[in-house]
Amino acid sequence: MSVTVLESHDVPGGAAHAWVKEGYHFESGPSLYSGMTGRSSTNPLAQVFSALEIDLPCYKYKNWMCHLPEGSFLTQVGAKQFFDILRQYSSAPDQAVKEWEDLQTFMEPLARASVALPPASFRQDIGAVLTAGKFLPNVIGSLSPEAVKLTGPFSELVKGVVKDEFIVNWLDLLCFLLSGLDASGTIAAEVAFMFNEWYQPNCELDFPVGGSQGMVDALVDGLRKYGGEIKLGAHVEEILVEDGSAKGVRVRYRNGERGTLLAKKAVVSNASAWNTKELLPVDLRAASNWKEERADFEYCPSFMHLHAGIDASKLPRTPEMHHIWVGDWKKGVTSPQNCVLVSIASVVDPSLAPEGKHVVHAYTPGNEPYEPWKGLERGSEEYEALKRERSKVLWDAVGMALGVENPEELCEVSMVGTPLTHERFLRRKFGTYGPALKAEAGQTLPFVKTSIDNLLCTGDSTFPGIGLPAVAASGMLAANSLTSVGNHLDMLRAIGL
């Protein structure tokens, strides 16, 4: 199908967009990817590329650095290397190793169950009997007595399996990186999917050649390949609804012009649930079914970002690409300023920085509250002072990652982003990471179809959650639900499913 994509920003990619300043290629979002290549990949985005018959060249690597209260260590994807970490940092090494082995055994059938029903087979109509139903033997064959808990919190799933304090904290951290919540708030299926990706023999991490921009460019190529187009600087101001059905959108362009685009088939909103609500006619915003269905969730906090270009010739050593820092386990990983991620993408892809330089991205992963920033005017003295204060933890983490005490002295260019930056450039209310589902309360996100005919929603406010694979899966679900069952089945055959 030919699709018109309306992008409010002047570059495509949303939270994955990139920009260049003084020769440094900066990533706006996280740079931790896995399962991005290969026809056998269970990553929904890889399945999208496969369906589009587009190759995404990636660099392969395994390692990342952890700076935890117990100490700093290099770890990697794969199950066995973590045994060495447990022997060194757990207070009861033998018991911890046994628990980790038991956890791997326990998670193996659940990991299989989490990918037994490929996201590419989903559609939200009766046709799912034919497209997803064909995989039911796989699902039934991978079920275990614990599989019914996959829709609940991960903490409940592993209760009794894991008791070691270091492992409990480690799993909280992994859950936080996946969902913005700890193990008690993260849906178990998300973690099972991660175990399937990260703890298989010979597994690796991926980094797209050219960074996230390479991934975005590939998606734009796929859009155009089928006759679609992308309009940049095109901000949707209103979704047009007549007789309970979405008919099109009103758009304001960067040059000041306005226009109306009518939909031949449907309108698909990739805005958050809260932003989509504000695009609806006033009477529908207050409708109880929309509020209960789409916008009645708490939201995750936002981010602080530090982007820097540094002189690598003055570093004491070549740093690892990824670093994770946690200040105090007792505060909890979701506590503000208590967890920082640092990515130095030019370690893997030198083309992202000038020769002899490195590009650095440090960020607090969805634990920066919006409230301290609310009402501040961007560029004001108060705003700039708060940026300096709350970016200090980012500079400290960068110094630890680079092995230097004053990383600012090596910087040739630096920028600090705040929740207000997120709110402005990503058009996200509160600058939020996404919905904070209460898994322990049985909360689940709605699917892509809405109570308004021909209006579909995708992205982090729809099934199955937050993060790039989840967003890709929701996009496939929307696309599949708008095409014929025959076309859908042809696509599944074409990508080897």
Q: Would you say 236 and 250 are in contact if contact means Cβ atoms under 8 Å apart?
A: yes
Q: What is the mean pLDDT of the chain?
A: 89
pLDDT tens digits, 370-408: 999 999 999 999 999 999 999 999 999 999 999 999 999
pLDDT tens digits, 139-182: 777 666 666 667 778 888 888 889 999 999 999 998 888 777 88
Give residue 78's pLDDT. Answer: 73
Rounded to a whole number of angstroms, the distance between the first and last alpha carbons of the chain is: 21
Domains of the chain: 78-203 (no CATH), 233-297+445-494 (3.50.50.60)
> Which range, of 93-97, 114-118, 341-345, 363-367, averages the lowest pLDDT?
114-118
Establish whether the linkage from the previous residue to 69 is cis, with ω within 30° of 0.
Answer: no
For residue 293, is pLDDT > 70?
no
For residue 79, is pLDDT > 80?
no
Give residue 440's pLDDT. Answer: 60
Residue 272: pLDDT band with limits 50, 70, 90: confident
For residue 311, is pLDDT > 90?
yes
Tell me which of 330 and 105 has the higher pLDDT. Answer: 330
H/E/C letters for each residue in 80-118? CHHHHHHHHHCCCHHHHHHHHHHHHHHHHHHHHHHHCCC
Whole-angstrom Cα distance, residue 89 to residue 74? 12
Amino acid letter, residue 108: E
Tell me which of 420 and 288 has the higher pLDDT. Answer: 420
Whole-angstrom Cα distance, residue 135 to residue 489? 12
Place of tokens 């973590």: 82
Whole-angstrom Cα distance, residue 181 to residue 300? 8
147 phi and psi angles, rounded to 5 deg:
-60, -25
**Percent share of the chain, pLDDT over 70:** 94
Tell me which of 319 and 298 has the higher pLDDT. Answer: 319
Partners of residue 245 on adjacent β-strands: 242, 453
Amino acid letter, residue 470: A
Whole-angstrom Cα distance, residue 189 to residue 191? 5
For residue 425, is pLDDT > 70?
yes
Residue 24: pLDDT band with limits 50, 70, 90: very high
Partners of residue 357 on adjacent β-strands: 311
The residue-averaged pLDDT of 215-221 equals: 94
78 phi and psi angles, rounded to 5 deg:
110, 150
Angle between helices 44-51 and 468-482 (to 10 degrees): 40
Whole-angstrom Cα distance, residue 452 to residue 461? 16
Local structure of residue 478 (DSSP, 8 states) = H
Q: Is 180 left (phi over 0), alpha (psi -120 to 50) or beta?
A: left
Local structure of residue 368 (DSSP, 8 states) = B
Give residue 134's pLDDT. Answer: 86
> What count of other Cβ atoms lies within 10 Å of the Cβ of residue 340?
26
Q: Would you say 216 and 17 are in contact if contact means Cβ atoms under 8 Å apart?
A: yes
The residue-averaged pLDDT of 355-362 equals: 96
Tell me which of 255 and 469 has the higher pLDDT. Answer: 255
Task: Using CB atoms within 10 Å of the CB of residue 207, give its burial: 0 to 12 exposed, 13 to 18 middle, 19+ buried.
Answer: buried
Among 479, 444, 482, smallest CA distance to 464 is for 444
Structure tokens belonging to residue 72 = 């700093």
Residue 464: pLDDT band with limits 50, 70, 90: low
Give residue 438's pLDDT. Answer: 66
Place of tokens 């790039």: 468
> What count of other Cβ atoms lies within 10 Å of the Cβ of residue 143?
16
The residue-averaged pLDDT of 339-345 equals: 96
Record the pTM.
0.91
